[in-house]
């Protein structure tokens, strides 16, 4: 039996109408809009067109479904973003930019302060005085055996750790000349700071740092570390009935202190950036930033190599390259060390510098404006490696 042509045409009408409706929908309605937001200036590329931001936002009308966008920002790593665009709901994406670190050439490093009178002293120049504006030569009082400088070499604590009548003194650079004044008898240590040294003393159960006091009566034992980067102090304190040590954050400018938690700590804590502390545990090292755990590193990563750029939220540290552990199937070799970079939210670090086998590092510091990471090496002559880690100039 033959189906009449009229019936066939009538039967096809719903199919044709549906098909046309789908095509019209895809052409005119299957679109969406996405808003990118981030720190200006930046550019988003889509389908070969560049869209510069306006006041930190970029609005793009694109096809719905999975779409690819390329985000670029001067001095920062480019990003390729795969985004599923909805046609019926708003789409937005907050951008976070990772600075493109630049490794500079090694340069010789010589301690900035030398002493007129030959004397054997403990001196922190090879760890702290990286930013001294000029070299100076001074005379130390007799009996001083420990000198602790601030970052710029303009102020120092002169300490006498043995028996005798030598008095601890505070040395200050005034108009190019160094003058000394007595430190209190309770002063037992100093910490270098961004502008001056911070004398540390004990008054009963209270710790006194830079004439600011905190009560530690509930903690019979504690160690204290002051920041090189601001008015911050971290204290690792232990109660008599507890094996764990409590990390206390103390802001000298505001006087506010707060406990950040307790851990079984295996060594001395280290301040590695503004409001950032590295805590060594038995099997790992924790990094806390503003009382939030941001990274966990292997326990064998040396704390002296760790730096955290708070402005860029990026970590730098030295580790071995485990991808190059074996020389051949019969012989193993010590894998090379490398400087790694890892931003918050990234799963894996990126290697930015492979070090020579004979390079041993002494310490890592942030530059005064926190735009560079400084690594001091000894091989055996002392050299300084500067890495640009944020916009700015030291």
pLDDT of residue 20: 57
275 phi and psi, to 5 degrees?
A: 55, 30
pLDDT of residue 1: 54
pLDDT of residue 317: 96
pLDDT of residue 25: 46
Give 263's strand partners. 245
Rounded to whole angstroms, the Cα distance separating 255 from 90 reads 45
- Encoded tokens for 82: 């795969």
CATH code, residues 266-394: 2.130.10.120
Pick the CATH number of 31-97 from 2.60.40.1120, 3.30.930.10, 3.30.1360.170, 2.60.120.260: 2.60.40.1120
Do the bridges between strand 187-191 and strand 337-343 make them parallel or antiparallel, or are there none, so unpaired?
unpaired
3-state DSSP of 73-101 = CCCECCEEEEEEECCCCCEEEECCCCECC
The stretches in the chain having pLDDT less than 70 are 1-30, 162-165, 185, 321-334, 393-394
Rounded to whole angstroms, the Cα distance separating 161 from 32 reads 72
Alpha helices (H) in 250-389, listed in sequence order: none
pLDDT of residue 309: 93
Look at the block and give the residue holding tokens 């990094």: 287
| Domain parsing of the chain, residue ranges | 31-97, 266-394
Q: Residue 19, SS3?
A: helix
131: Cβ contacts below 8 Å, ≥ 6 apart:
151, 152, 367, 368, 394
Helix and strand numbers (H, E) in the chain are 1, 35
Rounded to whole angstroms, the Cα distance separating 119 from 115 reads 8
Count CA atoms within 13 Å of residue 166 on its CB side: 17
Q: What share of the chain is helix, strand, coil (3-state, %, to 5)?
A: 10, 50, 45
Task: DSSP for 130-186, please give it.
Answer: SS-SS-EEE-PPTT--EEEE-TTSSEEEEE--SSSSPPPEEEEEETTEEEEEEPPTT
Alpha helices (H) in 199-346, listed in sequence order: none
Q: Residue 24, SS3?
A: helix
What's the pTM? 0.83
Give 252's strand partners. none
Contact of 43 with 69, CB cutoff 8 Å: no
Give me Rg for the CA atoms of the chain: 30
Rounded to whole angstroms, the Cα distance separating 390 from 394 reads 10
Look at the block and give the residue holding tokens 């971290």: 234
CA distance readout (Å), 30 to 82, 311, 361:
18, 40, 58
């Amino acid at each position: 039996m033959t189906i009449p042509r009229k019936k066939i045409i009538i039967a096809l009408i719903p199919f044709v109408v549906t098909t046309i409706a789908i095509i019209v929908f895809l052409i005119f309605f299957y679109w969406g809009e996405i808003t990118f937001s981030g720190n200006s200036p930046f550019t988003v590329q889509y389908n070969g067109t560049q869209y510069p931001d306006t006041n930190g936002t970029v609005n793009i009308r694109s096809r719905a479904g999975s779409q690819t966008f390329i985000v670029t920002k001067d001095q920062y790593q480019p990003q390729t973003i795969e985004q599923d665009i909805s046609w019926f709901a708003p789409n937005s994406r907050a951008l976070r930019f990772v600075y493109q670190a630049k490794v500079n050439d090694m340069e010789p490093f010589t301690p900035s302060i030398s002493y007129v009178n030959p004397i054997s002293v403990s001196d922190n120049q090879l760890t702290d005085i990286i930013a001294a504006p000029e070299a100076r030569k001074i005379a130390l009082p007799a009996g001083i055996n420990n000198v602790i400088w601030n970052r710029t070499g303009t102020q120092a604590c002169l300490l006498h750790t043995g028996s005798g009548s030598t008095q601890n003194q505070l040395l200050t650079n005034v108009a190019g000349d160094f003058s000394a004044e007595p430190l209190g008898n309770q002063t037992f240590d100093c910490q270098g700071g961004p502008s001056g040294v911070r004398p540390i003393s004990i008054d009963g159960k209270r710790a006194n740092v830079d004439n600011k006091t905190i009560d530690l009566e509930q903690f019979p034992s504690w160690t204290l570390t002051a920041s090189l980067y601001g008015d911050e102090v971290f204290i690792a304190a232990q109660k008599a009935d507890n094996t764990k040590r409590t990390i206390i954050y103390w802001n000298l400018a505001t006087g506010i202190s707060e406990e950040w938690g307790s851990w079984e700590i295996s060594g001395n804590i280290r301040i590695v950036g503004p409001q950032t502390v590295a805590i060594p545990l038995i099997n790992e090292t924790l990094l806390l930033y503003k009382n939030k755990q941001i990274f966990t590193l292997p326990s064998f990563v040396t704390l002296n190599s760790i730096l955290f750029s708070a402005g860029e939220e990026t970590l730098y540290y030295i580790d071995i390259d485990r991808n190059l552990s074996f020389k051949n199937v019969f012989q193993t070799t010590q894998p090379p060390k490398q400087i790694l970079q890892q931003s918050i939210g990234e799963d894996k670090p990126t290697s930015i510098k492979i070090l020579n086998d004979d390079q041993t590092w002494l310490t890592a510091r942030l530059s005064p404006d926190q735009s560079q990471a400084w690594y001091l090496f000894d091989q055996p002559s002392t050299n300084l490696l500067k890495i640009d880690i944020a916009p700015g100039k030291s």
